[in-house]
Structure formats: structure tokens, C-alpha cells
């Protein structure tokens, strides 16, 4: 099975970040990490590839930098990567990103596409569904478990109260939730092997995508208002009454 996993490189969340004063976009250092969200997609891809004697291809759009994040995913065991780093795509929104990723996926060929439900830095949470629409295949979202056979894929789709069992024909796009599997840590052998795995580089025009106008611009950015400290209720045997009062005041009950 030909499995493609969408992975995003993001600035290390442990480090302070800053915004470009003119574009208001995040300044992306050369050294970016694999978005933790996408480690789950990579792990599901690797497990399904092992079951089906398939391959795992990573696809990523964004500033390539020193490719540390992509190498992390290759070190986990993915076979190869496709990177689209094009200065003309700077400031792209979700739809342009989906157009580029869909074109790269179409070009590489696919039976199954995996993605996270939402990235850690952008988190619009719409890219996987847009890719499915552009590829004209079903989108199965919020998967907390994934299984495949020769021609179909079945997921347990996380809901507020439990899960739905959703099945579709392949090819399809699946977004996976954190916790779907336990992502493996790269081994030393994996890290060494990742250095020589193939990485294909494309621009938007290589992929035949000309409509890259984001149709949006960030006009200004404001600090989020600080959350006020909550009310502390000490329990001296009547805390429940104070909580009921508070909920009534808020018209929750
Ligand atoms: C030069 C350049 C600069 C960029 N700068 C920024 C920036 O400052 N901030 C920013 O958030 N984005 C940036 N991007 C990337 C792109 O614009 C965003 O990825 C896009 O807006 C997707 O939004 P999201 O992360 O909210 O997607 P979501 O829908 O929240 O992501 C869900 C899943 O879709 C997949 N996915 C999403 N984006 C990508 C991607 N780029 N590559 C591979 N898989 C992906 C992942 O599996 C992810 O878990 C840049 C791109 C380029 C080419």
C-alpha cells in the first residue's frame, strides 16, 4: 500500500517565538521540529505499511530550514520525503497549503493519505478535509483507530460521547487524533539511515499549481487578553452551595 503522510515542521514550542513586524507571520528558525501531532500520523503509516508491505512517503510544505523535523520522521522509519519550499508560498492559508499538498500527493501516487487533526502552530484543522476534496476521495476524520484491508479502510471516529465506526473504499484521506497509537522513538540506526533517505524538492510551478494567491492577509495581531484568576472556594462543608450559587449566577443551571 502506498501511504502518504502529511507532516509539518514547526518552531520548537519550547523556545520563545517572535512575529515579523510587517507580515505578522511567525519567524521560522532554520531549526524546526516535527509537529508532535504528526508523529501519530507517521506511526499509523508505518504500522499500516508493515502490515501491507507498503511504503510511507512524507509530504511537507513550508520553509525547509535544515530539515530537522523531516529527518525526525524519516528516522522513525518513513521511506522518503517530498518537500515544497517556495518563497512565493509564504503567507499561504490552509486552502493554498491543501492545493500544494494535494498536487504533490497526486504526483507521487497514493492509496491512503494520513494527516493530523490540527497542527500545533496554525491549527485551522481543515487541511486534511480540503486535501480529500481536491483529490476527490473520502475524508475520514478524527480517527482514534485505523485498520485496512485490500480495498477498504475502517476507523473508529472519536466523538464527544464515544466513537463512530466509519468505513470507506480506498483511496481515502484520514486525519488521526493524538493518542491513536504510541509513536515510536527513532533508534540510532534509524537516525543514521535518515541521513541518506531520498528527499524530492518541488516548487508550486513544478507541481502545476498557479493559483497560490492566499486571498487573505494578517492585518494586525493583538496580545490575547490575560485570563483573570478564578474564584477559590475553600470547602468548609458548604462549598457545594457556593458552587450552585455561582452556576445560577452564570445562568448555567
Ligand atoms: C514560506 C512559507 C512560510 C510559512 N509560514 C507559516 C507560518 O508562519 N505559520 C503557519 O502556521 N504556517 C506557515 N506555513 C505553512 C502553511 O501556510 C500552513 O501549514 C497552512 O496554513 C496550514 O494551516 P494549519 O497548520 O492550520 O493546518 P491544520 O489543518 O491545522 O493541519 C492539520 C494537519 O494537516 C497537515 N498539514 C497542515 N499544514 C501542513 C504543511 N504545511 N505541510 C504538511 N502537512 C501539513 C498536518 O498533518 C497537520 O497535522 C508556511 C508555508 C510556507 C511555504
- Give pLDDT tens digits for 113-140: 999 999 998 889 999 999 999 999 999 9
As for how many domains the chain has, the answer is 1
Q: What is the DSSP string of 143-209?
A: EEEEEE-SSEEEEEEE-SSSEEEEEEESSEEEEE-TTSS-PPPPPHHHHHHHTTS-EEEE-TTTTT-
Predicted pLDDT at 155? 98
Q: Would you state the pLDDT for residue 3?
A: 98
pLDDT of the residue at 252 = 86
The predicted structure's pLDDT at residue 230: 84
Instruction: Give percent above pLDDT 90 in the chain.
Output: 77
Domain that includes residue 55, residue range: 2-202
Binned at pLDDT 50, 70 and 90, residue 47 comes out as very high
- Which cell goes with 149? 484491508
Q: Residue 55: how many CB atoms within 10 A of its CB?
A: 15
36 ligand 1 Cβ < 6 A: no
User: How high is the pLDDT of residue 87?
Assistant: 92
Residue 238 domain flag = no
User: Which pLDDT does position 139 carry in this prediction?
Assistant: 98
- Strand 172-176, strand 139-148: pairing: parallel
Any domain includes 118: yes
Whether the predicted pLDDT of 26 surpasses 90: no
Ligand 1 center to 243 CA (angstroms): 42
Find all residues with CB under 8 Å of 78, minimum gap 6, and list them.
Answer: 5, 42, 45, 46, 56, 57, 58, 197
- Mean pLDDT across 211-228: 85
Nearest CA to ligand 1 atom 45: 8
| Residue 214, pLDDT above cutoff 80 | no
Q: Where are the alpha helices (DSSP H) in the chain?
A: 36-52, 68-76, 94-108, 127-135, 188-194, 239-249
pLDDT of amino acid 75: 98
Binding site membership of 128 for ligand 1 (Cβ less than 6 Å): yes
- The answer to whether the CB of 94 is under 6 A from ligand 1 is yes
What local confidence, expressed as pLDDT, does residue 172 receive? 98
The cell for 238 is: 458548604
* Residue 214 located in a structural domain: no
pLDDT band at 153 (very low <50, low <70, confident <90, very high): very high
pLDDT band at 211 (very low <50, low <70, confident <90, very high): confident
Residue nearest to atom 52 of ligand 1 (CA): 62
| Spatial distance between the Cα atoms of 44 and 85, rounded to a whole number of angstroms | 25
Which residue among 35, 122, 212 has the greatest number of ligand 1 atoms within 8 angstroms of its CB, and so is best to mutate? 122
223 located within any domain: no
SS3 74: helix
- pLDDT tens digits along 68-106: 999 999 999 999 999 999 999 988 999 999 999 999 999
Alpha carbon nearest to ligand 1 atom 20, residue:
94
Specify the pairing of strand 163-169 against strand 152-158: antiparallel
Provide the pLDDT for residue 25: 87
CATH number at residue 19: 3.40.50.620
Ligand 1: centre distance to CA 205 (Å) = 19
Q: Residue 234: which pLDDT band, with cuts at 50, 70 and 90?
A: confident
* Gap between the Cα atoms of 154 and 207, Å rounded: 31
| Domain membership flag for residue 229 | no
Is residue 162, in this structure, part of any structural domain at all?
Answer: yes
pLDDT, greater one: 141 or 18 = 141
Distance between Cα 1 and ligand 1 center (Å): 26
- pLDDT given for residue 213 in this prediction: 84
pLDDT in tens, 155-210: 999 999 999 999 999 999 999 999 889 999 999 999 999 999 999 999 999 999 99
User: 71 lies in a domain?
Assistant: yes
Instruction: Report pLDDT for 129.
Output: 98
Residue 117 within a domain = yes
Amino acid at each position: 500500500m502506498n501511504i502518504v503522510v502529511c507532516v509539518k515542521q514547526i518552531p520548537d514550542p519550547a523556545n520563545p517565538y517572535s512575529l515579523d513586524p510587517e507580515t505578522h507571520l511567525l519567524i521560522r528558525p532554520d531549526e524546526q521540529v516535527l509537529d508532535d501531532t504528526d508523529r501519530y500520523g507517521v506511526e499509523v503509516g508505518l504500522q499500516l505499511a508493515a502490515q501491507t508491505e507498503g511504503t510511507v512517503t512524507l509530504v511537507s510544505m513550508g520553509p525547509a530550514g535544515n530539515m530537522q523535523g523531516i529527518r525526525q520522521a524519516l528516522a522513525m522509519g518513513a521511506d522518503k520525503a517530498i518537500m515544497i519550499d517556495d518563497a512565493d508560498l509564504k503567507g499561504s492559508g490552509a486552502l493554498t497549503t491543501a492545493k500544494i499538498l494535494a498536487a504533490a500527493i497526486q504526483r507521487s501516487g497514493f492509496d491512503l493519505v494520513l494527516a493530523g487533526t490540527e497542527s500545533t502552530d496554525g491549527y485551522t484543522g481543515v487541511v486534511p478535509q480540503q486535501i480529500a476534496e481536491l483529490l476527490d476521495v473520502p475524508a475520514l476524520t478524527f480517527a482514534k483507530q485505523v485498520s485496512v484491508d485490500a480495498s477498504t479502510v475502517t476507523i473508529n471516529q472519536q466523538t464527544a460521547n464515544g466513537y463512530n465506526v466509519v468505513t470507506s473504499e480506498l483511496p481515502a484521506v484520514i486525519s488521526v487524533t493524538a493518542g491513536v497509537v504510541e509513536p515510536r522513538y527513532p533508534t540510532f540506526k534509524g537516525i543514521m539511515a535518515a541521513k541518506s533517505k531520498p528527499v524530492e524538492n518541488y516548487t508550486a510551478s513544478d507541481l502545476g499549481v498557479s493559483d497560490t494567491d492566499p486571498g487573505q492577509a494578517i492585518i494586525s495581531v493583538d496580545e490575547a487578553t490575560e485570563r483573570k484568576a478564578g474564584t477559590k472556594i475553600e470547602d468548609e462543608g458548604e462549598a457545594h452551595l457556593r458552587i450552585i450559587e455561582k452556576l445560577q449566577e452564570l445562568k448555567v443551571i
